[in-house]
Amino acid sequence: MLLEQAPKPVLAVSVHPQNPIPLAPSPAKFLTPRTPKFATSTLFPPSKQPSSDSNSIEVHLQLVIKLNERRVYVYRNQQLQTSYPIAVGREGWETPVGQYQVIQMISNPTWEHPLTGEIIPPGPDNPLGSRWIGFWTDGTNYIGFHGTPNTETVGQAASHGCIRMFNQDVLVLFDKVKIGTPVIVEP
């Protein structure tokens, strides 16, 4: 009897047109064969415990998104290193303000449209560009940094909550950050 009540696993790639995703202020959803399952230790990195390992998180690197300026600032040891122009969430799909950390990094991501369920494979027409740096999830959808084929939207409030960047900028940012890098989103 208990086995019958246990929830069945749901595959992220299951799309049922008769059960559309509800219209709510949530970010774009993307899929990849390596998308981690929710509530596992691999989704959220351990809390701030620096390691002496050379591959550990650089605890002094920090990303600060200033939504009203439409820029992301990269700080190392509290010193500004560089900044990049960005697009932010449009009305009804606002990028959430708060303190987060990088939870996913994916090269050549696949994207699923949040309303239609259409799957867009990696390539020049993929709305995520060639890199994905996720920093927020509600357990279903994700928000993160990504490239875009729609470069005219950078500097605008145009996304489903994500931080759109020029592809060349997100490539550089991807090489700077690690899982666990702090991400602060300010109004």
Amino acid at 108: N
* Catalytic-labelled residue, pool 16, 113, 160, 162: 162
Whole-number Å distance between alpha carbons of 134 and 146: 8
DSSP-derived secondary structure for 75-111: EETTEEEEEEE-BEE-TTSPPPPEEEE--EEEES-EE
Q: Which string of b and e fits 13-33 if b means at least 16 CB within 10 Å?
A: eebeeeeebeeeebbbbbbbe
CA angle 105-166-68, nearest 5°?
A: 95
Separation between Cα atoms, residue 41 and residue 39, nearest integer Å: 7
146 catalytic? Reply is: yes
Catalytic, out of 16, 60, 113, 146: 146
Neighbours of 43 (CB within 10 A): 16
List the catalytic residues.
146, 162
